[in-house]
Amino acid sequence: MPIVEWNDNYSVKIKEVDDQHRQLIDQINCLHDAMKQRKGSEVVGTIIARLAEYTQRHFMTEEQLFLKHGYPETVKHTHEHNAFIAKVAGFQNDLKAGRVMLSMEVLNFLKEWLIGHIQIVDKKYAPFLNAKGVG
What is the CATH architecture of 12-131? Up-down Bundle (1.20)
pLDDT of amino acid 53: 92
Instruction: Tell me the pLDDT tens digit for each residue of 17-69.
Output: 999 999 999 989 988 888 888 876 667 778 888 888 999 999 999 999 999 99
Please report which confidence band the pLDDT of residue 102 belongs to, taking 50, 70 and 90 as the band edges.
Answer: low
Closest-CA residue to 43 (of 54, 53, 32): 32
- Domain segments of the chain: what residues? 12-131
What letter represents residue 105's amino acid?
E
Instruction: Tell me the pLDDT tens digit for each residue of 103-126.
Output: 677 888 889 999 999 999 999 999
Check: pTM over 0.75? Answer yes or no. yes
pLDDT of amino acid 100: 63
Alpha carbon separation from 57 to 85, 103, 133 (Å, rounded): 11, 25, 22
